Structure 1
Amino acid sequence: MISHIKLNEIKKLSDSVTLKTNDQGFEFIIIDHQNFDAAFTLHGGHLIHFQRKHQRPLIYLSKTAAFNNSKAIRGGVPICWPWFGKPNQEFAEPLPSHGFARISKWKVTCINEDNQGVNIDFSLASSEASKQLWKHDFQLTLKASLSDFIELSLVTENTGSSSFTYSGALHTYLHIANTEQVNIEGLAEDYTDSLDAGKSKKSPTLLTINAELDAIHQVNQGDLMVNDGGNQRKIMVTNSGNDSVVVWNPWINKAASFADMPDDGYQTMLCIESAITGQNGVLVEAGQAHTLSTTIKETAMK
């Protein structure tokens, strides 16, 4: 929920969708549909909240997240693009970790809604400012389809005359009841451990969370299932266009080091990321496009 954020209505964009700002002028897209509540920020094209009516939130947002135009927001679904993690050495320093899309201002380009849900598109295009960080011409579109589940598709279009490669992620923070009551099914067995110099390791079939975790799993062939026992629900995550799945939880010490996360924030969040992390990234030829997506559905435990 984002009820702790005081917002001022600026403009109705459709029956369910409203542009609002906080007292500092930071812009939010608030969706109050008969089936769900959701919120985005134009900073980052960032989904920060989704909750079906009379259900628990599905997306985690830190209660101490910073809302300004220079910092990425802690929680939601940050868009890591056009690189994942630290930039390649071909780029000059300093450059933002996880790219510039999540700290850039996006535009709403399309809204369609009906009794079932809302489809809303956000766009970000290359500019003189972006070319100071990444030299390529592009059109980036986040297509969000919200109903009783979430579907996010990030479309990368090459609008230039030469090919480029990119990497990135839909860095989804899932809201869970408690890490001690969660396990994950369906992850590929092979993964690299970012906390142990990228060593290759094997994952158990049923992954539990009891320490800091930053694992890059090979792309899985089916759905992922997060068993959120404390909320008596299952969260199914289906990804496409990715080469890997990143599973992340900062645990006690790292959460305590974050100014924009409560010390106990690690207990109620778990990142399951549809990601492109391979060294070669994804090649997008001139005039072509590539789509990275994630779909998130919840069902009650039987």
Structure 2
Amino acid sequence: MGSVTTNKHANGLEYVDVNTPLCKARIFMQGAQIDFFEPVGQKPLLWVSSADDYSPGNGIRGGIPVCWPWFGMNENPDFPQHGFARTRIWALESVKMRNQIVDLKFTLNISEEDRLFWPHDTDVELLFTLSDRLSVSLVNTNRSDYDVSLTQALHTYFPINDIHQLHASGFEGAKYIEFGQGPFTQENDKVEFTRETDRVYTELGNVQELHTPDGVIEVSRENSKSAVLWNPWIDKSARLSRFNSDDYLTMVCLEAANVLEDKVVLAPNESHTLTTHIRWKA
């Protein structure tokens, strides 16, 4: 049937271990961040830098950090980049097992300190469904008596073996902004990597694929018309914390998002669910 247990990393971070006939996974309470997911009989679907030391207070450089309640830099430059959710301790609210599939729900209690960044009355949950594929859902509910807007992303790091042999597909016709320039129109379906890539796509279809030497990873999204495609390449890799200078060769990020004109605007008592589904297609 499988097991779900809680453990503690050598550096003190608590995590949940999932072991079933369909998959193995690990999710940290800090950030509700999954850093490992491996379908049985297949290769892992998530990447983490070997330079990361899993120290409390730092988001893990890999897996799926949760960027919430804003993506990128805030209008206030003193606020943390990509929000505060990825460095806070979430609560594991429920665990359910059904036909070897595991469902987990995490919730984030917004502290008085965090209300300096986010003074709104909102509920936020992160839902995981673990089987031979991975589904992650970020759920927002507005409990305020006024509209609330936010941007967000599920910042997924994928293992791709060799960046020179990777191409991504499913982008034709979409718009993107890169390095503050654009919007540009993606003229063809294929994206290859020969330099730093940091594209914020909008008007994007629901399914993209990463064609790697180890197979094809399918990445699909729900309630999202935007996504981020990122590889830091050589120069930026040297500047990143908890990141080896050659890590860019073996990873790429393809992030389900609600950014730019795809931002979330919630009326009072309205909810929104951003979901990403990840699997080995071939």
Map of 1:243 onto structure 2: 225
CA offsets per residue over residues 6-43 of structure 1, 9 Å max, x none? xxxxxxxx951111112332111111222211111111
| Cα separation, 2, equivalents of 1:156 and 1:125 | 13
Determine if the alignment matches structure 1 residue 278 to structure 2 residue 265. Answer: no
Aligned pairs (5 A) from 1:279-298? 281-298=263-280
Q: CA deviation at 1:235?
A: 1.0
TM superposition score normalised by structure 2: 0.94
| 8 Å Cα contact 1:125-1:138 kept in structure 2 | no
Aligned pairs (5 A) from 1:70-219? 70-88=57-75, 91=76, 93-195=77-179, 197-203=180-186, 204-219=188-203
Map of 2:10 onto structure 1: 23
Q: 2:260 is paired with a residue of what secondary structure?
A: coil
TM superposition score normalised by structure 1: 0.88
Q: CA deviation at 1:259?
A: 3.2
Identity of aligned residues (%): 30
Determine if the alignment matches structure 1 residue 58 to structure 2 residue 45. Answer: yes
Determine if the alignment matches structure 1 residue 266 to structure 2 residue 253. Answer: no
Q: 2:237 is paired with a residue of what secondary structure?
A: helix
| Cα separation, 2, equivalents of 1:54 and 1:143 | 24
| 8 Å Cα contact 2:2-2:100 kept in structure 1 | no
RMSD of aligned alpha carbons: 1.8
Q: CA deviation at 1:128?
A: 1.3
Q: CA deviation at 1:289?
A: 0.7
Q: CA deviation at 1:188?
A: 4.3
CA offsets per residue over residues 246-291 of structure 1, 9 Å max, x none? 1000111211222311222111111111111115721111211111
| Cα separation, 2, equivalents of 1:113 and 1:64 | 34
| 8 Å Cα contact 2:226-2:262 kept in structure 1 | no
One-letter identity of the residue aligned with 1:73? I
CA change 1:227–1:114 in 2 (3 A) is same
| Cα separation, 2, equivalents of 1:188 and 1:72 | 32
| Cα separation, 2, equivalents of 1:148 and 1:252 | 34
- Residue segments in structure 1 that go unaligned for 5+ positions in a row: 1-13
| 8 Å Cα contact 2:223-2:273 kept in structure 1 | yes
CA change 1:245–1:17 in 2 (3 A) is same
Q: CA deviation at 1:114?
A: 3.4
| Cα separation, 1, equivalents of 2:40 and 2:193 | 29
Q: CA deviation at 1:221?
A: 2.5
| 8 Å Cα contact 1:243-1:278 kept in structure 2 | no
| 8 Å Cα contact 1:188-1:218 kept in structure 2 | no
Q: 2:86 is paired with a residue of what secondary structure?
A: helix
- The count of corresponding residues between Structure 1 and Structure 2 is 281
Map of 1:38 onto structure 2: 25
| 8 Å Cα contact 2:2-2:21 kept in structure 1 | no
- Residue segments in structure 2 that go unaligned for 5+ positions in a row: none
CA change 1:126–1:160 in 2 (3 A) is farther
| 8 Å Cα contact 1:215-1:246 kept in structure 2 | yes
One-letter identity of the residue aligned with 1:103? T
CA change 1:222–1:136 in 2 (3 A) is closer
